[in-house]
Chain A
């Protein structure tokens, strides 16, 4: 951190409205490479809107997104993914009837022969690569040819995160990754997120779980009523301060800065 590195993501004056409702405005923030940033705020605070814009799911109505030194104008999640931004959705995007390998390589299959839709899948090569991928992320799956349907929530989330992280991605957006999980499975997913920190992969974590945020993240960005009301380093703030900022009670307005 002694060298002044360029930010990985720089968002300037970002704005989004739905009809007459302003969902997000005047958003300026920057994330450093490898930074693990939490995005917190009440429902409707604009955090999902923010995440959807940097993941390419929605287009901003104003402002700009710079990623890795280049201006971005994503028209689809695919384009965001192309520059290295991956999103793991809350309601998982895995195909339950398919096995781990087929899911890991969804949209990125390896082939024996490329012939458009008739391309012949190289399942052997994908199996080999799948082992490496899951090892890197630290996900343990009993059988790669087992269907997703039969797996625990933690394993599923592990597969989803491995899929997101395994392609040289620089920033992974996790939208409430443990919201539907039990205690033990949440622990597994948190270990995976720690692994991403070691690997130097940046993370944006949307979470309501402050314990989790303080355990895992470097920085916290607090959203309220469509605005970013503050950024804090985990090392120098307290849950009480964050809660005050989220709710707008207790003079958090005074500390409004980015």
Chain B
């Protein structure tokens, strides 16, 4: 599968440089979108043919289930990236949310615990947004700082130990299925549809694109750009926290060390799908494709018994490929 991915994209790229018409087509947005969809479909088909294990329905559902959590986080990341930012604290925030909700649920029950968990995400997201929008701090620095603070506090409070003995309601939800669709996948679908509708139909969605595209110009048009950025980070924080809660439903523990790789994975899902890191463009559809692409790749590597240490390397390769294509398109467009 990763071979198929690499070959497909590389072939497109070299063909594009020799034939200008194809290059122009590649530079268009729909082209990149459909290229990634084609790579995903092709990968699934090829893997299904070569591997009986891969094409087992249970394995395919498994891919969805395993990637639903990062998918939810990536939806929030998409909004932040479109608005011209990104968030490195999503993993720490998710862990904090899961641990706090887990601990609270033992005594106060799930509803209050879930609300508390989401409030952690909302609060950190608002602070991130404030630092970026009002203080003008680079998102990299602001959210890296937030990540360190949240993780530090979390490790001190828990002494780095997981929270056990949670009510079974967590895992009851986590392993619940509607027909053959796991509950976490349904949460992913709901989050994705909500974010898609927000971007497509609402004022704040349009303004996220506008701010990511030309922040100063949008400000001059009388738009409260700071509020748009803060909103994007707040939603991103809430969805990161939701991801943390979803993780609790899978393990029935609150893990302070959870989510260490989430920020990079979520950003990878967004970028691999074709949303440029420079902001102003892209969308949720691309993020879904990117999430599934990473998920299928990881699953395929597992099935082919490739050492798990190769997984991050393969993810990194996919990111670099996607970003290279994006840079190429950028050069084409701004020529």
CA–CA, A106 to B209, complex, Å? 11
- Does chain A have a CB within 8 A of B250? no
Cα distance, A117 to B221, chains bound together (Å): 16
Interface residue? B222 (CB, 8 A): yes
Q: Which of A33-41, A95-103, A134-142, A206-214 contacts B (4 or more CB under 8 A)?
A: A95-103
Complex interface residues of chain A between 107 and 162 (CB less than 8 A to chain B):
107, 109, 111, 116-121, 149-150
B-chain residues with CB within 8 Å of residue A149 when the two chains form the complex? 333-334
Query: What is the distance, in angstroms, from A100's C-beta to the closest C-beta of chain B?
Result: 13
| CB pair A97 B202 closer than 8 Å | no
Would you list the 5 A-B pairs with minimal beta carbon distance, nearest first? A93-B217, A117-B204, A97-B280, A95-B213, A97-B213
CB–CB B221/A93 < 8 A: yes
- Measured CB to CB, the closest approach of chain B to A93, in angstroms, equals 3
Q: Report chain A residues within 8 Å CB of B222.
A: 76-78, 81, 107
Nearest CB of chain B from residue A77's CB, rounded to whole Å: 6
Q: Which residues of B contact A109 (CB under 8 A)?
A: 203, 206
Instruction: Report the separation of the CA atoms of residues A117 and B203 in the bound assembly, to the nearest whole angstrom.
Output: 5
Whether B220 sits at the interface, judged by CB under 8 Å, is yes
The answer to whether A107 touches B221, judged by C-beta atoms less than 8 angstroms apart, is yes
Instruction: A95-B280, A121-B203 given; name 20 further pairs at CB < 8 Å.
Output: A76-B222, A77-B220, A87-B220, A92-B217, A93-B217, A93-B218, A95-B217, A97-B213, A98-B209, A102-B206, A102-B209, A102-B210, A106-B210, A107-B221, A107-B222, A109-B203, A116-B203, A118-B202, A118-B204, A121-B206
Q: Are A119 and B213 in contact (CB under 8 A)?
A: no
Asked if B201 lies at the interface with its beta carbon under 8 angstroms from chain A, I say yes
Per-residue 0/1 for B192-221: is the Cβ within 8 Å of any A Cβ (1 yes, 0 no)? 000000100111101101101110111011
Contacts of A102 in B (CB 8 A): 206, 209-210
Interface residues of A in 193-252 (CB under 8 A from B): none
- The residue that B203 contacts in the complex, of A94, A95, A118, with Cβ under 8 A, is A118
B231 at interface, CB cutoff 8 A: yes
Q: Is the CB of A95 within 8 A of B218?
A: yes
Please, which residues of chain A bring their CB within 8 A of the CB of B39?
none
Residues on A with C-beta less than 8 A from B223 are 106-107
The answer, yes or no, to whether B281 is at the interface (CB within 8 Å) is yes
Q: Which chain B residues border A98 with CB–CB below 8 Å?
A: 206, 209-210, 213, 280
Interface readout for A62-92 with B: 1 if CB under 8 Å, 0 if not? Answer: 0000000000000011100100000101001
Which of A76, A106, A111 lies in contact with B218, CB distance below 8 A?
A106
B203: chain A residues within 8 A (beta carbon)? 109, 111, 116-121
Question: B333 and A97: CB pair below 8 A?
Answer: no
Q: Shortest CB–CB separation between residue A153 and chain B, in angstroms?
A: 14
Complex Cα gap A76–B221 (Å): 11
Report if A95-B202 is in contact (Cβ < 8 Å); known contacts: A77-B222, A106-B223: no
**Whose C-beta in chain A lies nearest to the C-beta of B212?**
A97
Bound together, the chains give a CA A111 to CA B333 distance in angstroms of 32
Question: Of all chain A residues, which has the CB nearest B216?
Answer: A93
Q: How far is the CA of A111 from the CA of B204 in the complex (A)?
A: 12
What residue of chain A has the Cβ atom nearest to residue B282's Cβ?
A: A97
Bound-state Cα–Cα, A77 to B219, Å: 10
Find chain B residues with CB under 8 A from A93 CB: 214, 216-218, 220-221
Q: Which of B152-209 contact A (CB under 8 A)?
A: 198, 201-204, 206-207, 209
Query: Could you say which residues of chain B place their CB within 8 Å of the CB of A120?
Result: 201-203
Rounded to whole angstroms, the CA-CA distance of A96 and B203 in the bound complex is 18
Residue of B202, B223, B231, B334 with most partner-chain A CB within 10 A: B202
Residues of A within 8 A of B216 (CB): 93
Residue numbers in A under 8 Å from B206 (CB-CB): 98, 102, 109, 121
CB < 8 Å: which of B202, B220, B227, B280 contacts A96? B280
Enumerate chain A residues within 8 angstroms of B207, measured Cβ to Cβ: 117
Q: A77-B222, A106-B223, A107-B223 are in contact. Are A96 and B204 (CB under 8 A)?
A: no
Whether the Cβ atoms of B209 and A97 lie closer than 8 Å is yes
Bound CA–CA A149/B278 (angstroms):
14
Q: Is the CB of A96 within 8 A of B214?
A: yes
Q: Are A117 and B231 in contact (CB under 8 A)?
A: yes
With a cutoff of 8 Å between Cβ atoms, the chain B residues found around residue A119 in the complex are: 202-203
B195 CB → nearest A CB, Å: 13
A81–B220 alpha-carbon span in the complex (Å): 10
Contact B281 A94 (CB under 8 A): no
A119 vs B198: C-alpha distance in the bound complex, in angstroms?
10
Least distance between B91 CB and chain A CB atoms (Å): 27
Distance between Cα atoms of A98 and B217 in the complex (Å): 12
